[in-house]
Each structure stands twice: as structure tokens, then as C-alpha cells.
Amino acid sequence: MSFVHQFDGTSLREYDIRGIVDKTLTAEDAFAIGRTFGSFVRRGGGKTLVVGYDGRLSSPMLEEALVKGALECGLEVTRVGRGPTPMLYYASAMLDADGAIMVTGSHNPPSHNGFKMMLAGRPFFGAQIRELGERSAKGDVVPAAAGTLRTVDLREAYVKRLVQDYGGAGRKLKVVWDNGNSSAGEVLEKMVAALPGEHIVLNAAIDGTFPAHHPDPTVAKNLEQLIAAVKDNGADMGIAFDGDADRIGLVDNQGEILWGDQILVLLARDVLKSHAGATVIADVKASQVLFDEVARAGGKPLMWRTGHSLIKSKMAETGSPLAGEMSGHIFFADKWFGFDDGLYAGVRVLDVVARSEEPLSVFRESLPVTLSTPEVRFDCDDYRKFKVIEEVAARLRKEGAHVSEIDGVRVNTTDGWWLLRASNTQAVLVARVEGHDQAGLDRLKDALVHQLEQSGLSRPDFSGSHAGH
């Protein structure tokens, strides 16, 4: 039987395929991904594929259809079962797989799901995802053949490897972990049992309805339960994950949030002790404080485009041992495999804090204080959003502004900086502003709004500015 399949146009994203289950994403789509991605693997000379899935209610159904499609390509398919996305990345590395697919909706609402892919050990994204859609629509796949299927439980091996890089030196810590009902649940329980110190796990059960709170640790509201537990238990810190545990959230002993760039400063200082002069990568949304602190610690700070696939690719290109994003993706190539893993990042944070004689709050308070807005997202048509960036960039160049165009426009002034970029995953523009003081922050906001108004857009809501970030 010949194969042809058309995806919903909204489901083929920049870094993954995702949509609303039974509306823009179906079992038929999952089968088509297996059939078409499997053909990429076969045509590249590969024969092995590893598949995993997260804790969403729709994930087993989508994984089953995906596996059927991959088997029809004649592949040797290995199922690693339910767990965090980084466990699937680990499986891909350990089993030296030619391809890997994770069924996950990440931090999206319970009704959503999706697929993250790797081909020959590298992220499969951007033009490759668009090509997958085109090949599927044309039925451009390898001839049907019978594949083989096996199931492997890597949880014990993964946990053993996770805790290997905890030095065990220094203080015994009391740590609160908020699993957020994420797919890390069982792995996290095993991991904390293998770590020294005292560990309290909140929302340990894997539950795709996310009854406790939305599984996104970059939103302060989602950390309220963790903050309360850290204070109630007199803990040294609190660590949270997103829905598939490839991102981390961190709270110090005083219940204050450390954002993605602050976590990266903590880790960079430690990594640069053994990698003097190394490149440390962060996305364009990160604070200037991060880039300055990396340089001060003897590293080479590199600002790069937002997106986990783009950061991973740049790490491989530059030989960087460490990278991170404001969104809480932390990537270790130092002692690790170069992929983003919230659990592993958590272990490395514990290791750094245990070896320090001071509480985590002292580190946070030592960082220069700035005033910044949170990431402000506002609607803008998918086509128009890129045109707006082009218009703003052209005007700024004409004005002779100090501007970086790595990803959107990031403008530096004596007051601080402002950023405007087009989201790669939604019909929105993203803005962020950071100033040295309130007056400077206000001037930067006005400069950004002036540019938006010249492109026919109104002032976004900047409420929620905060210090130290």
C-alpha cells in the first residue's frame, strides 16, 4: 500500500513537531513521522532508532503509532519507555543509535503533545522538519520492509550515570525537588535515593493532567509551592523541572528564584576552573551580567540564537563545555554528552553548592543588581513578525545604534539593553529590557516602544519588572 500523508500546517515547528491531540496532531501523524523520519535514517545509511515517551495521557497512543511507522521502514527499533526527554538522549548516545524520537509535549498544556527528533546524534530541526513534511506529502519514503522491535529499561543505568558527577565533597544538603508531575518521576525518585543529603520530592507521581501546577519552571507562579516547601523545611535549595525534565528551575535557601542566566553564572565559574578560556554560550535573552561574569571568570562569552537545537549545534561547532538559555535549558559537554538535561544540571548545581561554604543566597546576592522586565510576548502575524524585525533593524542601522542581529535585534546603550525578536514557535514577538536603574529601564522601554510604533504596533504590557535578573 502506498504511503502519502499531509500534516496540519501548524504542527511543523522550528525545533519539533507539535500540536493539539486529535485536532492538529493525531495517531496518523505519529505513524507518518515514524514512516518518514525512518526513511531519513535508512537513506542516511542507518538502521537503528530509539523511541521514548513522556507522561502525557496521549503519549502511549502516539508512541505506538510512531513505532509502527518506523518498523515499516525496516528499522531496528528500541523502545526505552516512559521517562524524561534527556533519558532518550542518553539512550541515543549509549546505544549509538542512528535516530531518536521522543514523544513529548514538553511544558505545553495537557491537551498538547509533540515529537523531538535526533538524526545521527544531532538535533533534527528547521529545514529538516520542513523537508519531512514535504516528503510525507509526496509519499517520498523507502519501500516498506519488516523491522525488528525490542524494549530496553535504561533507568538504572541512566541514574547511575547522573549521580556519577556528584563529587560528594563538602556539606550534606537538604534539597526540595518539585517534579511537577513530570515524566522524570520514577527516575528522580531513584536519583535522590542515590545522592547524599536529605531530599524531599513534591508532586512525584507522573500525571499528564499536571494537577499541581503548569509544568514550566520559568514562570514564578509555578514555583510558589516549591518556594513554600524550601522555607518550611529550612532547605538549602529547591529544584523544579518542566514537563519532560530537559529544563530546570532553581530556588535558593531564602526562597528566591535564580533565573536561567544566574544558574549559568554559578555553573560557568565552576566549569571554567577546569576549562580555562573556554567558550560559554547563552541565548540573546540572557542578562549582560552573565556575559560579563563569564569573561571575569576567564571564559569567552558567546551570545547565540534562542532555541535548544541551535544552541546544541553551536556547542558542537565551538567545542563549548557549557551553554544555557533563559528558559532553563542547561547544556553540559563537560563530563556529559552536550545535551540539555534538567536532572543532570540539578546534580551539578548540588555539587557546586555542597563544595561552597556559603549558602546559595550569598552567591545570588553577590551578582550585580539590574532591573529587568520578564520576557514579554505579544501577538504578531507569523509573516509580519519577521518583517517587523527587518524594519526595526534597518532603522537602527541608519541611526548608528550599537546593535546585535544574531537573533532579532539586541540594542546596547549606556542605560543597559533591549531585545526584540520573532518567536520561532508562535505568532508572537518577544521583548526583554534590562537597565541599571529604574530611570534607565524606562528610557530603554520607551526606545523599544518607539520602534514598535514606527512599525504600526502598540505598546506591550511590561508589568512585572524585577531586580537581580
Alpha helices in 257-410 (DSSP H): 260-274, 288-296, 308-318, 342-355, 360-366, 382-399
* Beta-carbon count within 10 A of 20 CB: 18
Give the chain's length: 469
Q: Compute the distance between CA of residue 430 and CA of residue 427 in angstroms, rounded to an integer.
A: 10
Q: Compute the distance between CA of residue 3 and CA of residue 12 in angstroms, rounded to an integer.
A: 19
| Nearest alpha carbon to residue 230 among 204, 195, 254 | 254
Q: Compute the distance between CA of residue 323 and CA of residue 320 in angstroms, rounded to an integer.
A: 7
Tell me whether residue 106 is one of the annotated catalytic residues. yes
39, 58, 59, 106: the catalytic one is 106
Do residues 402 and 413 make contact, with C-beta atoms less than 8 angstroms apart? yes
| Residues forming beta bridges with residue 201, ordered by sequence position | 177
Task: Work out the angle between the directed axes of helices 155-164 and 85-94 (0-180°, nearest 10).
Answer: 90
Q: Give 421's contacts (C-beta < 8 A, 6+ positions apart).
A: 284, 306, 389, 407, 408, 409, 429, 430
Q: Compute the distance between CA of residue 358 and CA of residue 171 in angstroms, rounded to an integer.
A: 10
- Which positions are annotated as active-site residues? 106
